[in-house]
């Protein structure tokens, strides 16, 4: 303890037992701050109960999750931004072919079609004979429609390529460039 | 000690009644302390609020070494020092010119004034004088410790204290 001179001792004595009641708003401010923080913590703990004691892990998980979502969305965007759709109906005569399969083939450039066909995908026709191929890259294509084996239509119609041909060499290639296409396919009668 | 322990444990369980009780136990004395360090009442209220928030946030670290009031007081003093950290400037080690300290004059003047008046005089001192006056005279910190706390030399601390007393004497004489 310091050795106080007379002046210091006198001043010290003046304020030795100095007390004063603070205004109530001070306590209100303290109470609101402490309990607001508690409510925030309760909320956080409900969301991230397992890692309340590991705030850095929470931040790491949040960053990784956000990055994954962003990367996924970017991939979806860039891989689908220039993809197109080919859709249409298949008919057996005048009636839509409701039981069958549509197959999309990609045709390589500058090669005879029959040697250069590559299956792109196949879809079942719906009850109205409708088919749709999505995410189709620009290029040249042929479509083949196959009626369900042993069905009524199978008895009376051939599996056919677009343009109503039964061999691909005679079919006109479908050029897919920058727009979606509608191609209706009519089966060749037997 | 047991009563303090129960109170502290209740506060740590976020029992608002216990926290209020804890606050009311020390608020008056700590407000008195803040009034000495602050330049005005509003500043003292802010200091008190921030000080108690620090007390409650650090209560889990209290080790029951020494008195609880002493622990609270230390936190309050540190809060007061942090409040003025940016504005704490210490003039060069030059004493106020042409003034001597007169103990008799001091005593006469102090006896005629109320505590509120003397408090107002202390609050009107420059922050540096006021801080060192409080730390040395009221808290009993030696100059060596004050120097370490505030990042100044011991000589500066001693000069600032003398200047504080001279400034108070000058105001008392008005």
CATH number assigned to the domain comprising residue A173: 2.60.40.10
- Residue A162 predicted with pLDDT over 50: yes
Sign of the alpha-carbon torsion through B51, B56, B58, B62: positive
Residue (of A189, A177, A186, A183) closest to A83 by Cα position: A177
Residue A6 distance to chain B (closest CA, Å): 6
User: Are the beta carbons of A20 and B14 separated by less than 8 Å?
Assistant: no
pLDDT recorded at residue A46: 64
pLDDT recorded at residue B50: 94
A interface test, pick of B52, B122, B161 with most A CB neighbours within 10 Å: B52
Same domain, A55 and A136: no
Pick the more confident residue, B85 or A186. A186
pLDDT recorded at residue A56: 75
- Residue B77 predicted with pLDDT over 60: yes
Domains of chain B: 2-83 (1.10.1740.10), 103-172 (1.10.10.10)
Chain B residue nearest residue A8, CA to CA: B137
Please name the residues between 56 and 95 in chain A that touch chain B, using a CB distance below 8 Å: none
pLDDT recorded at residue A69: 93
Residue A7 resides in a domain: no
Residue A39 distance to chain B (closest CA, Å): 11
User: Are the beta carbons of B103 and A2 separated by less than 8 Å?
Assistant: no
Mean pLDDT, residues B125-138 taken together: 92
User: Are the beta carbons of B32 and A26 separated by less than 8 Å?
Assistant: no
Mean pLDDT, residues A131-159 taken together: 88
- Residue B93 predicted with pLDDT over 50: no
C-alpha to C-alpha distance for B52 and B25, rounded to whole angstroms: 12
Residue (of A154, A144, A142) closest to A99 by Cα position: A154
- Pair of tokens at residue A68: 């994954």
- DSSP code for B66: S
Helix (H, G, I), strand (E, B) or coil at B113: coil
Report yes or no: A3 at the B interface, CB cutoff 8 Å. Answer: no
Range in A76-80, A137-141, B50-54 with the lowest mean pLDDT: A76-80
pLDDT recorded at residue A52: 53
Report residue A27's pLDDT band, with 50, 70 and 90 as the boundaries.
very high
C-alpha to C-alpha distance for B28 and B52, rounded to whole angstroms: 12
Same domain, A117 and A74: no
Q: Which of B28, B48, B165 sits opposite A19 (nearest CB)?
A: B28
- Residue A70 predicted with pLDDT over 60: yes
Residue A90 resides in a domain: yes
C-alpha to C-alpha distance for B159 and B164, rounded to whole angstroms: 8
Mean pLDDT of chain A: 83
Report residue A88's pLDDT band, with 50, 70 and 90 as the boundaries.
very high
- Pair of tokens at residue A109: 């450039």
Q: Which of B28, B106, B107 sits opposite A21 (nearest CB)?
A: B28
A106-120 burial, b at 16+ Cβ within 10 Å, e below that, comes to bbeeeeebeeebeeb
Same domain, A130 and A171: yes
Pick the more confident residue, A26 or A5. A26
Task: State pTM to two decimals.
Answer: 0.56
Residue A24 distance to chain B (closest CA, Å): 10
Same domain, A90 and A181: yes
Same domain, A108 and A172: yes
Mean pLDDT, residues A127-141 taken together: 90
Same domain, A143 and A64: no
Residue A13 resides in a domain: no
B interface test, pick of A15, A17, A28, A36 with most B CB neighbours within 10 Å: A15
Mean pLDDT, residues B15-39 taken together: 94
Chain A residue nearest residue B19, CA to CA: A31
The CA-based dihedral angle spanning residues B156, B158, B162, B163, taken in that order and rounded to the nearest 10 degrees: 10
Same domain, A97 and A179: yes
Residue A4 resides in a domain: no
Report residue B94's pLDDT band, with 50, 70 and 90 as the boundaries.
very low
Chain B residue nearest residue A17, CA to CA: B29
pLDDT recorded at residue B100: 63
Report residue A14's pLDDT band, with 50, 70 and 90 as the boundaries.
confident
pLDDT recorded at residue B33: 95
Residues of A in contact with B121 (CB under 8 A): none
Same domain, A44 and A90: no
Report residue B108's pLDDT band, with 50, 70 and 90 as the boundaries.
confident
Residue A46 distance to chain B (closest CA, Å): 18
Residues in chain B: 174
- Residue A75 predicted with pLDDT over 70: yes
Same domain, A51 and A131: no
Pick the more confident residue, A110 or A84. A84
Cα–Cα distance list, A131 to A77, A163, B66, B93 (Å) = 24, 16, 85, 94
């Amino acid at each position: 303890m310091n050795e106080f001179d007379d002046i210091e001792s006198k001043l010290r004595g003046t304020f030795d037992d100095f007390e004063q009641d603070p205004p109530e708003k001070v306590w209100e401010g303290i109470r609101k701050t402490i309990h607001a923080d508690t409510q925030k913590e309760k909320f956080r703990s409900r969301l991230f109960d397992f890692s309340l004691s590991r705030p850095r892990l929470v931040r790491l998980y949040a960053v990784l999750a956000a990055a994954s979502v962003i990367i996924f969305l970017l991939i979806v965007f860039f891989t689908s931004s220039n993809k197109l759709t080919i859709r249409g109906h298949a008919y057996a005569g005048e009636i839509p072919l409701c039981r069958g399969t549509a197959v999309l083939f990609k045709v390589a450039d500058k090669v005879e079609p029959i040697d250069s066909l590559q299956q792109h995908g196949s879809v079942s026709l719906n009850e109205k004979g409708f088919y749709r191929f999505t995410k189709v890259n620009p290029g040249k294509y042929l479509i083949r429609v196959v009626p369900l084996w042993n069905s009524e239509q199978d008895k009376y119609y051939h599996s056919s390529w677009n343009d109503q041909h039964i061999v691909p060499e005679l079919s006109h290639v479908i050029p897919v460039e920058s727009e979606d296409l509608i191609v209706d396919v009519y089966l060749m009668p037997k | 000690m047991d009563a303090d322990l129960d109170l502290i444990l209740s506060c740590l369980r976020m029992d608002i009644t216990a926290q209020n009780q804890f606050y009311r136990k020390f608020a008056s004395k700590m407000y008195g302390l803040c009034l000495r360090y602050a330049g005005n009442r509003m500043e003292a209220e802010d200091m008190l609020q921030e000080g108690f928030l620090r007390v409650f946030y650090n209560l889990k670290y209290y080790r029951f070494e020494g008195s609880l009031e002493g622990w609270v007081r230390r936190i309050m003093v540190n809060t007061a020092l942090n409040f003025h950290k940016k504005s704490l400037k210490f003039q060069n080690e030059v004493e106020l010119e042409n003034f001597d300290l007169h103990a008799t004059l001091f005593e006469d003047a102090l006896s005629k004034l109320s505590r509120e008046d003397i408090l107002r005089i202390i609050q009107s001192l420059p922050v540096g004088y006021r801080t060192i006056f409080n730390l040395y005279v009221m808290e009993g910190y030696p100059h060596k410790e004050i120097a370490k706390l505030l990042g100044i030399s011991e000589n500066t601390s001693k000069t600032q204290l003398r200047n504080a007393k001279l400034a108070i004497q000058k105001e008392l004489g008005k």
